[in-house]
Structure 1
Amino acid sequence: MSLVAVGACYIDTILTTPHYPGEDEKLRAISISHRRGGNCPNTLEVLQQLTAHNSRTVHPSLNLVAVLPAKSSVASQQVKSEFEPRVHLDNCIYRDDFNEPASSYIIKSQSSGSRTIVNYNELPEMTVDEFRKIADKLGPQSNWFHFEGRIPDIILACIQYLRQKFPAVRISVEAEKPARPGLQELAVEADVVFYSKSWAQGKGYQSAEECLRKQAELTRKASLLCCTWGQDGAFALETGSGNLIHRPAHSGPGFKVVDTIGAGDTFIAGMLYSLLYQDQKWDLSQKLSFANRVAGMKVAQEGFLGLERSLELHPGS
């Protein structure tokens, strides 16, 4: 089994504050932390734990395709040390003229639990020609390509290239940010689509079910559509049968929201793990329950360490 995840890789600086600061307000932070971020890197962080923990998983190959600063930069060395050897970075695109990584500065309000994110990225984006060279190398040995829904015009051309050259490869995309044009066009080309609540509401949908039912009419190539809806859990629709499944958000005795950063990325990791490695063993309800469980465990802790425990708690693992 081989998966290729294509998306941005960030270095996050997280400030936890008593409350969100007002304009021109001086405020002392409670804590500061630094971590590697980005949607696809977060998803791969969780996937490497799940596949390493399951002894029945046969030689998984996890690959990141991201634009990074020069190989010798502190940031690129940090990403390399955190990921290799379980996640391969051989096909990342290194910009030798740049030393600063894509960065996120996150303010977490302790009083409300909200998070405010400011991004900075001066790295030139991946080009279609760069992706084609990578696809020619990875395509023959890959089962699945997953795309973060960013730079949609380039990603659309990348997906079309995969369809032409490697028609057996399955493709998933994430539609997350409501203000980003072009995500609908990506969804139309995918086999599996992950919709966020904010994207669905931005399109005027009043519920996850409405989103999935209406999207099924537009995404003729897709076999599975998923939509997370915060505390109301997650929904999945098998487009062929029209079977709609809902599973509640994971909780338990003493459950408390601690850190929501990367919760959606973790849900996607749970679903990709289920689809790639448990497809014949788990039905859709079990897959959705597992994705909710691993995402709920992530929300209840800081960071991503130890999420492989979700396999020990999931029936049938």
Structure 2
Amino acid sequence: MAQWLNNKKDLPPLPPSPHDNPNNLRVLAIGTLYEIQTFYLDAFPDEGLKLRAQSVTRERGGSAASILHLLAQFDGVSPFLCAPVGSRRESTRVESELDDLGIGTEFLVRREGEQVPTSYIMQSLGTGSRTVIHHNPLPDIAHSEFVRLFKHHFILDSTPSISSTRSVDRQPSSPGFPRRVPPFDWVHFEGRATPSMLSNLRWVCDVSREQGYRDKVVVSLGLERPVQDMEELIRFADVVFFSKALAMQATHASPKSFLLSHALASSPHSILLATPSSHTSGAALLSVPNKEYYQSSELVKDTSETPSRTNGKRISGFGGEEDGDFEIMDLSGTGEAFIAGMIYSLTRRLLPGLPYTPSDEEYTPTADEDKGRWRLEECLRFSTELAGRKNRRPNWDGLAEAMAEVGWFSARGVM
């Protein structure tokens, strides 16, 4: 049985109003959260052998959770995670770690009597190879659960829960406090082969449009491999992130041809991106409204002879509906770091105008508004550099600080 984390009968409270902090960026990521245990071995064992590990590490995994871990390092960002977790007893430690990072846990859904999803990774220190075993006993969040969890946040005219003190105390609309303010500035969906994926994404888009703030919230989608209804999912998203492995599949000779092949099916205001991988490949960006294409240079190679630790990014076959042929994908977190970088740069309104939001109104920035703002190619360069730094690190800590130290924010007065 599902339980909301603040109270099994109550809905989560509303995120803080953006008027409490006009520069606050509220990001909701919907996806997975799990634990990773990595065993570092001299060599991969033969069947039936007993082998001693040189060391063992424990980390958090899940694409959505990793993206928020990095976003939480930037000033003025309030990240929230929506994911199924195990029972209170099993998930308390993971939830506490998220709280310590500044990631909101109000939208986690407990599955009582179940364990936290776990990945067991055996890494050979001799060859650097990884063998990954996944265990995910949790059912995904059904569409009815998703609507119940978020309807009092997205539907502004609905009556909030009595027990939700933030909702009850929310101030009525006034000239200084516009009523049509979305609960989140950015909603990111981790693309997974689940029955409710399309229904949840469509619901967010439809309700946002009905409530009059669709042009104020960005909806993005991350796709690591083909999923059911992929073309429909792409059509509803404002920003779509394709993994480099997906973009370089057999029928496409380059990321550019892949992105162009999806341009007609995408929204006319959308941005399509191919994320970099740990194999030093760069990223690609196609702006559908501007008809602009950019491709970043390759990542700086990691010259370390010691195999880097995994960040716990899931591979195909993780979870009930995704079980199938195991195809090991990028475990470095490079793709997630790139997505976090693009979310940060785009949503801080650093671009001239709003080509990535579904606004019907034409927008031409003034000279003062345009001053100091990043253009698309700068956002791509920033995100690629951030991804490269993650590719050379075993963990997520200190990445935003590293970007600040090399001067990314000093000239622009952000972060």
Indicate whether 1:116 and 2:131 are aligned.
yes
> Structure 2 vs 1, CA of residues 213 and 9 (structure 1 numbering), >3 Å: closer, same or farther?
same
Q: Which amino acid aligns with 1:149?
A: G
> Structure 2 vs 1, CA of residues 29 and 81 (structure 1 numbering), >3 Å: closer, same or farther?
same
> Structure 2 vs 1, CA of residues 255 and 17 (structure 1 numbering), >3 Å: closer, same or farther?
closer
CA–CA distance in 2 between the matches of 1:229 and 1:204?
A: 19
Alpha carbons 1:227, 1:234 under 8 Å: kept: yes
Regions of 4+ moved over 6 Å: none
Corresponding residue for residue 27 of structure 2: 3
SS in 1 for 2:286: strand
SS in 2 for 1:124: coil
Once the two structures are superposed, the pairs formed by residues 196-275 of structure 1 within 5 Å of their partners are: 196-202=243-249, 204-221=251-268, 223-230=270-277, 231-251=280-300, 258-259=308-309, 260-275=331-346
Alpha carbons 2:345, 2:379 under 8 Å: kept: yes
Indicate whether 1:34 and 2:58 are aligned.
yes
CA–CA distance in 1 between the matches of 2:206 and 2:269?
A: 17
Corresponding residue for residue 310 of structure 1: 403
What count of residue pairs does the alignment treat as equivalent? 306
Alpha carbons 2:389, 2:399 under 8 Å: kept: yes
> Which stretch shifts more, 152-161 or 254-263?
254-263
> Structure 2 vs 1, CA of residues 204 and 110 (structure 1 numbering), >3 Å: closer, same or farther?
farther
Cα RMSD (Å) = 2.4
> Structure 2 vs 1, CA of residues 113 and 278 (structure 1 numbering), >3 Å: closer, same or farther?
farther
Shift of 1:174: 0.7
CA–CA distance in 2 between the matches of 1:23 and 1:211?
A: 41
> Structure 2 vs 1, CA of residues 192 and 253 (structure 1 numbering), >3 Å: closer, same or farther?
closer
1:227-279 residue CA offsets vs partner (Å, 9 max, x unmatched): 02432210111111221111113328967773453221111111111111253
CA–CA distance in 2 between the matches of 1:22 and 1:200?
A: 35
CA–CA distance in 2 between the matches of 1:18 and 1:198?
A: 29
**TM-score (structure 2 length as normaliser):** 0.68
Alpha carbons 2:38, 2:123 under 8 Å: kept: yes
Shift of 1:221: 4.6
Q: Which amino acid aligns with 1:289?
A: R
Q: Which amino acid aligns with 2:342?
A: M
Alpha carbons 2:276, 2:334 under 8 Å: kept: no
CA–CA distance in 1 between the matches of 2:103 and 2:249?
A: 34
Larger Rg: 2
Corresponding residue for residue 162 of structure 1: 204
1:159-199 residue CA offsets vs partner (Å, 9 max, x unmatched): 11112111213210011034x43334322221100001222
SS in 2 for 1:142: coil
Alpha carbons 1:152, 1:183 under 8 Å: kept: no
Corresponding residue for residue 186 of structure 1: 233
Higher-strand-fraction structure: 1
Higher-helix-fraction structure: 1
> Which stretch shifts more, 164-173 or 40-49?
164-173
Q: What percent of counterpart residues are identical?
A: 29
CA–CA distance in 2 between the matches of 1:205 and 1:95?
A: 41
Corresponding residue for residue 301 of structure 1: 393
> Structure 2 vs 1, CA of residues 250 and 313 (structure 1 numbering), >3 Å: closer, same or farther?
farther
CA–CA distance in 2 between the matches of 1:229 and 1:250?
A: 8
Structure 2 unaligned residues grouped into runs of 5+ = 1-24, 155-181, 310-330, 352-372, 411-415
Corresponding residue for residue 146 of structure 1: 188
Corresponding residue for residue 94 of structure 2: 79
> Structure 2 vs 1, CA of residues 17 and 170 (structure 1 numbering), >3 Å: closer, same or farther?
same
> Which stretch shifts more, 156-165 or 108-117?
108-117
